[in-house]
Chain A
Amino acid sequence: MYKNFLRYIISALFLLGLSVQANADFKVGFVYVGPTGDHGWTYQHDEGRKAVEAAGIKTTYVESVPEGADAERVIRQLAQSGHDLIFTTSFGYMDPTNKVAKDFPNVKFEHATGYKREHPNVSTYSARFYEGRTLLGHMAGKMTKTNVIGYIASFPIPEVIRGINAMTLAAQKVNPDIKTKIVWVFTWYDPGKESEAAQALIDQGADIIMQHTDSTAPVQVAEKAGVWSFGQASDMQRFAPKSILTSIIDDWAPYYVERSIAARDGTWKQQDTWHGLKEGMVAMAAYNPAMGSDLVKEVEQLQKDLASGKTHSFTGPIYDQKGNILVAEGSVADDGMLAGMNVYVKGVEGDIPQ
């Protein structure tokens, strides 16, 4: 009896030791598409990684991993070298992530902005950036004098089209005369192309510039030209202090910390996360007082309503460019429709490039 008891104690201690050791060895890996100093997309993911590190979990990152044949090797190496949870933070890593996940069933994978979860150890996550766009649209509609809003867009994928539509709808609500002009640059990060696009839009009469690209070039062009602008991904205020009304901030930190702790403690489950203002994955930088305290108050209220669910970015009636009804009066667009959004709403100029 006594011997048995001792054996139990010893094995319990041993198991405890093992689990403590497992926890100490627990590592999270991050794969970035750009350099950590891009002040946009990758920078914000790295801020999230630092938060995980601050929570006492070891992290590793590999930056500037091309979305071609190299991605699979890097992800596999992270899995092989004892990383228990791996965040792959660009759309182009979707297939490599799923391929590696198949061979490492005990490692958890989290892929940002993708739609494939082919194995139980793959989760996907993205943010409802369009909620931030609604706030931008409200401000743009109130602030514009020329009624032309310039929009620098990257690729005609649903996420970007959703942002254009959300912004346009919100701007129309406060100013029915506005027009949204779009320049497609077909890149996520190219300061040269982005600043050319900003200049072209300003030349066409836009006095508000917003971007769905990651460099700080557009806000700097706007600052020089004396028009309003909005920052993207991170707080870009210091790059254009006069021009920027606010920035949409991607705040991955809470999600990364939560998922890392869950994976460490064994409570991680496959899921498709789409968080917004409510959960804090989308956050707004400080509002520029130049827009007047009344407007700041309005926007702050709208932000609260979007977060609480009282207001939805896509509330009917919503019409497409030809005037066909997309969302009926009194209802809101469901997530399925948002995820596959492929048409412009009324008031957006031009066609979606196909």
Chain B
Amino acid sequence: MIKIEKRNDVSPSIYFLTPILAIFLTLFGGGIIFYVLGFNPIEALKFFFITPISDLYGLSELLVKATPLCLIAIGLSFCFKSNNWNIGAEGQLIFGGIVGGGVALLFYGHDGFYVLPIIILSGAIGGMIFAMIPAVLKTYFNTNEILVSLMLVYVAKLLLDYLVVGPWSNPEGFNFPETRQFSESARMPILFDGLRIHAGIFITLITVFLSWLILYKTYLGFQIKVSGLSLKTAKYAGYKGKTMIIIVFMISGACAGLAGVGEITGPIGQLHRNISPDYGFTAIIVAFLGRLNPIGIIFASLIVALTYLGAETAQIFLQVPKYTGQVFQGMILFFLLGSDYLLFFKIKFLGLKKNEL
């Protein structure tokens, strides 16, 4: 007979070490998969995790890829910490991209330092407004925020489809589903010649700092944490639950919107149907891998970004199937949740008692 008991004495250091354990287990599991597929596991892991970042270009690409993941995950951490399950960051990203992109098209041909800040701001507001839909519906109509936010992803995707095929399509583009390339004034400044790393990384770092400030140094942050631990306590303490729910969704949506606008004004430079390879969903893994902690999320976003780059290099050099990248992301989450379970619960193996036989 097996008995599962809750542990009451989980030390915080182990809590932050388990993600690292999960990563090592993933490497080990990945090695086994490579071996079974007929590759030298050490060599394959080297191509997967070291080759992609062995030069300046690779490091810059890692940051380009990690930037949106980190931003979205930071935003999600506000929701998840307070027990609000925002699964629709992908939709908020796309909607932020739509609003920011629309403003960028409006300013087509304009020069001026004010163009880019306006675009970025409108992108953040777009994401924020889109995230308020599930929040308001949850607080005033008791709807399930998981379903509403998830379904809104499809709304955003279809809206983007409609815009780039129809009214916003490039007039000189032979009806291909994409807008014009934005003007130079609407693009994120590139930090180093020949690399793609752009000023969006500063937005991310500022956001990380601000969220640390809010979460750990303000009354709002305290409310968020208390509500996450126990809703009843929060109510008893007299916190205004509804306002807080709407605020965390707004923060989360604004971050996703910033990520979207960063992508379209950064590496992409226009609107088309594929502005995000599901960053909004992958960021959920990032948020949990980073323990919903701003610093943890920075590291987690770098690691998950690396699984994307690694899948590409491994396919180029060894012709390993591209989907191993997703397998790695899945394994990280699996091992993390698995070790969390063992961390918080004790499994007791009891012998079968005689009267049970």
Binding site for B on A (CB under 8 A): 29, 60-70, 72-74, 76-78, 80-81, 91-92, 95, 103, 115, 155-158, 186, 340, 342, 352-354
Contact = CB atoms under 8 A, between A and B. Distances in A.
B312 A342 contact: no
A67 B266 CA distance: 15
B322 A72 contact: no
Contacts of A80: 57
Given A69-B64, A353-B165, A158 B316 contact: no
A186 B176 CA distance: 11
Contacts of B319: 60-61
A66 to B, nearest CB: 5
A92 B166 contact: no
B315 A62 contact: yes
Most buried by B among A73, A80, A81, A155: A73
Q: Which 8 A-B pairs have the closest CB atoms?
A: A69-B267, A68-B274, A66-B277, A67-B274, A156-B175, A157-B175, A62-B315, A66-B274
18 contacts: A60-B319, A61-B315, A65-B312, A68-B268, A70-B312, A72-B267, A73-B196, A76-B57, A77-B312, A81-B316, A91-B176, A92-B178, A92-B272, A95-B181, A95-B269, A103-B194, A155-B177, A157-B174
B184 interface: no
Given A92-B272, A155-B165, A69 B263 contact: yes
A342 B169 CA distance: 14
A73 B61 CA distance: 8
A157 B164 CA distance: 13
B276 interface: yes
B249 to A, nearest CB: 26
A203 B273 CA distance: 30
A186 B177 contact: yes
B272 A68 contact: yes
B161 interface: yes
B317 A81 contact: yes
Contacts of A186: 161, 165, 177
Nearest to A184: B165
Given A155-B165, A353-B165, A62 B322 contact: yes
B130 interface: no
Nearest to B266: A69
Contact of A155 (B176, B276, B309, B323): B176
B128 interface: no
Given A60-B319, A67-B272, A340 B267 contact: no
Interface string B262-291: 010011110011111100000000000000
A146 B80 CA distance: 58
A115 B181 contact: no
A69 B177 contact: no
A26 B189 CA distance: 37
Interface in B306-342: 308-309, 312-313, 315-317, 319, 321-323
Contacts of B57: 76, 80
A287 to B, nearest CB: 33
B315 A68 contact: no
A29 B312 CA distance: 13
Most buried by B among A76, A77, A115, A155: A77
A90 to B, nearest CB: 11
A65 B166 CA distance: 25
Nearest to B309: A73
Given A63-B321, A77-B312, 17 more contacts: A60-B316, A62-B312, A64-B323, A68-B275, A68-B277, A69-B263, A72-B267, A77-B316, A78-B316, A81-B317, A91-B176, A92-B178, A92-B274, A155-B177, A186-B165, A342-B174, A352-B175
Contacts of A69: 64, 263, 266-268
B176 A157 contact: yes
A262 B156 CA distance: 46
A353 B272 contact: no
Contacts of A157: 174-176
Interface in B224-243: none
B342 to A, nearest CB: 35
A137 B277 CA distance: 38
B176 A353 contact: no
Contact of B312 (A68, A74, A95): A74
Contacts of B196: 72-73
Nearest to B267: A69
Given A60-B319, A62-B312, A342 B176 contact: no
B175 A155 contact: yes
A200 B271 CA distance: 31
A168 B356 CA distance: 78
Nearest to A113: B176
A104 to B, nearest CB: 12
A346 to B, nearest CB: 21
A343 B33 CA distance: 53
Given A95-B181, A155-B175, A156-B175, A62 B61 contact: no
Interface in B23-68: 57, 61, 64
A344 B165 CA distance: 18
A186 B273 CA distance: 10
Given A70-B277, A72-B196, A81-B317, A158 B175 contact: yes
Contacts of A155: 165, 175-177
Nearest to B273: A67
Most buried by B among A62, A68, A91: A68
Given A62-B312, A62-B315, A64-B322, A158 B267 contact: no
A339 to B, nearest CB: 8
Contacts of B178: 92
Contacts of B323: 64
